Structure 1
Amino acid sequence: MTLSLATSGSNRATSLVAGFARLVVGGEWSAEYGHSVIEAFADTSPTADYCGAGKVIVRAILDSLGGNPGDNVVLPAAVPHGLVEPFRERGVEPRYHRMTQRFGADLDDLITRIDEDTIAVVLVHYFGFEQPDAAVIREIAADAGVPVVEDNSHAALSAPGGRLLGTTDAFGFTSLHKTLPVPNGAVVFSESTIALDDSSFGVADRPSLTDACFLTSRITNPSLQQSESTHEPRPEMARSNPASGDCEETTWPASPTPYESMRAYAADDEPLSWLTAKLLAVLSAESIVHRHRDGYERWLATLDTAPMYDLTPGVCPWIFPVVVDDALQRARDVPDAFAWPRLPRDVTPDDFPVATDLARSVLALPVDRPNQIARLASAVE
């Protein structure tokens, strides 16, 4: 079921959201700056289905692939723990392969992980940049007769070579709130011949607590507003707490949720929010891509370090990754920076030393507010 988000709701509501986008999000709205995000997705793939979170998509993909206890999915070791939870729910083994220092695949190790019980190979594009080993990974999967699932969670609008990442393979998905100023959301692209469980997808028909907390954060925290004026960041922002039914204050970036604590994971199990749907119809894809590229280039010009990735045409970076001695500690010193990824508990230093080293050393620097980068850089250097 592909949702027609651009036309849902009243014209008055859409006008109000457009006004919000101009005042708080930073003026990135389609009437002045080209195609909306919805239009960009529609131009790229006719089968774009929306829901509240990526885990809903992973569940639906597993159902479509017939994932059962005893099956396995081969994926890189450098992934966040939330990605593998839908596998565990169904008794499907997340079978990790080793990595290279640039987030590439150890191809020899990947080949050894595939067996007769493998139902998919996950290809991950990191930070908005195309996986450098994508072509070989697809070839290995094809030789084994296994479908590829394309994880493009980091960059909803990244299109190197003119093709949106996540739209090449049998299944591909992306997270909306990482790239876009929206409360929640994820989108899955799939071949038209593949049926997904429509009951897992949908959009809320009215504003929710998630929307209210997002608005509160954007209005009360000037550093999250993407206009070109300069603000000092505030360390607090509001987020929804479904357990209590209200917004709660938390430090930002929020402290990592322990692997064993699944409150945050369960809280994501909701539809695409009403406000997200409205914003997707008015936010300008071109303007957001330009802003993220501008931020990346400013980090590149400011820091005395070689970039992990070159900013090639069409790329919309999620963050600027930089290698430091202790990413967790440095993230405490740099507003809005964070260490990435928080690995699954079964990705251990003995078995996956490179992935573990990346998790300890990769600091993710924000690119969505270019005007603040000069000030943030002083805390990085």
Structure 2
Amino acid sequence: MYRWQGLRAGFQIDDSGTPSLLVTSLPTQQPTGIERFIDRYADEYHFYGSGKVALRDGLAGLVDGARSQNVLVPAYLPDGVVEPLRELEVEPRYYAVEPTLAPDFVDLERRLDEDTLAVMSVNYFGFPQPGLAELESIVADADCYHIDDNAHAPLSVDHGTLLGTRGDIGITSLWKLLPIPNGAILYCTDESVSDRYEPSPLAGIRGRVDASDCRYILKSVIQEFLDTAPPVRHSVDALLTGRRSGSTTPTVGSPADRYEAWKTQMSTLSAYLANDIDPTEIRQTRRDNFRIWRHILDDYDTLDPVFDSLPDGICPQAFPVRTDDARAFIAELERVGVDGVHTWPRLAGTVLENPAYETATRLSREIVTLPVHQHVDSAALESVGDALQWE
């Protein structure tokens, strides 16, 4: 699916003795992947290296610097997502969530005020935001903007609508679904957002392949040779937290440090690979692997899948499952060869310290994300089901 062989043939050694990959060495066929797919659903979109930077640029033109403003975001959210708001000097204001991942609407409305610039919804794990219709009604009554955080679901389509395009502003992260160094998209679906949008120097695609692209290729090629057993380990490395094998971007440190580290344009390599994929095939493979996990876990009463069904058009980011003993379950998965599994997400300290967000805190400790990546072999998953022992 991804033609690494053609890329490896383009490696050269520059005057410093460092491997380089010239843009001219990339195959020249017309894009057939992500852009053609998105063009079917979105009129205006812009490429970025990361979703957080895309969010920053999307909101920047809407911020009124003359007064204090806030954006409401769900408490069940990775700690770094609010860093773009802080950079814009906008207050991130958390609202509580229900165990179903729907907003706690009483809490959300209580936190709204005349200075609320926007409310964020989240399509968790590739699935549509529960309770979206009510959230949209509240946003309309408050006359503020709606941010559709679709970091997990760049290929998910719900009743003919691409997730990420249901708000005035939408973001999606390509690198969380595809084996690429970076890549994200900003959707501008509201006319006022489009009119006031001014791309920063971090918008767009880099004009040349650089050293970080070369390092990613080398690490990926090496992984192909070394990552041979057990089969389920391939591409499982913390897909939802960014700890991807071969990544050249730091994933440790403070949320602000990680945000700064991701400030880059989408790489040329990412753009090429993203336009050399078959979205339909990827979605189908992930759906198949999701169903296998569901079949495996059906026999375990103490494991509760977050989603009971897999609607048409949805491309799952992972198979999320709740358990009262996440640590023991992860250990059992590691025993049968599934590495890199973890709870999600890493919450902000202000959420963890506040009893009002007890549900979000509990979910972050109980939800374990299981891999459905398109490179995970279905037969390997079946063997995991045979070997798994859980009470």
TM-score (norm 1): 0.81
For 1:43-74, what per-residue CA distance to the aligned partner results, in whole angstroms no more than 9, with x for missing partners?
Answer: 11121100101111121122121154721101
Higher Cα radius of gyration: 2
2: distance between equivalents of 1:96 and 1:223? 45
Does the CA contact (< 8 Å) of 2:304 and 2:323 recur in 1? Answer: no
Q: Could you tell me which residue of structure 1 aligns to residue 231 of structure 2?
A: 231
Q: Judge conservation of contact 1:55–1:86 (CA < 8 Å) in 2.
A: yes
Matches within 5 A, 1:214-363: 214-222=216-224, 231=231, 233=233, 237-240=245-248, 257-258=252-253, 260=254, 262-304=256-298, 305-309=303-307, 310-327=309-326, 330-331=329-330, 333=334, 334-348=338-352, 349-363=354-368
Specify every segment of 5 or more residues in structure 2 that has no aligned partner in the other structure, as ranges.
1-21, 238-243
Shift of 1:296: 0.5
Deviation of 1:375 after TM superposition, in Å, equals 4.2
Cα pair 1:320 1:365 within 8 Å, conserved: yes
What amino acid is the match of 1:91?
A: E
Report matched runs for 1:168-183 at 5 Å: 168-183=166-181
Q: Which SS does the other structure have where 1:240 is aligned?
A: coil
Q: Could you list the runs of 4 or more consecutive aligned residues of structure 1 that deviate by over 6 angstroms after TM superposition? A: none
Shift of 1:91: 2.3
- Distance (Å, rounded) in 1 between the aligned partners of 2:315 and 2:127: 8
In structure 2, the partner of 1:13 is 26
Contact 2:127–2:314 under 8 Å retained in 1: yes
Which residue of the other structure, out of 147, 150, 153, is the alignment partner of 1:149?
A: 147
CA distance in 1, matches of 2:90, 2:27: 42
Which amino acid letter does the alignment assign opposite residue 113 of structure 2? D
Q: Does residue 197 in structure 1 map to residue 198 in structure 2?
A: yes
Percent identity among equivalent residues? 32
1:59 matched to which residue of 2?
56
Q: Deviations over 1:58-115 (max 9, x none)?
A: 2112212115472110111001011001112232111111111121111111111100
After superposition, the Cα gap between the structure-2 partners of 1:63 and 1:47, relative to the gap in structure 1 and judged at 3 Å, is same
Alignment correspondent of 1:249: none
Q: How many residues are matched?
A: 341
Instruction: Name whichever of 145-154 and 364-373 sits farther off.
Output: 364-373
Against the structure 1 CA distance between its residues 241 and 73, is the aligned structure 2 distance closer, same or farther, given a 3 Å change threshold? Answer: closer
Tell me the distance in 2 between the aligned counterparts of 1:350 and 1:276.
Answer: 41
User: 1:117 — aligned with what?
Assistant: 115
Could you tell me how far apart the structure 2 residues matched to 1:82 and 1:295 are? 29
Q: Deviations over 1:123-153 (max 9, x none)?
A: 1111111011111000000001111010000
- Cα separation, 1, equivalents of 2:38 and 2:212: 24
Shift of 1:162: 1.8
Measured in 2, the distance between the counterparts of 1:287 and 1:279 equals 15
- Maintained 8 Å contact 2:320/2:368: yes
CA RMSD of aligned residues (A): 2.8
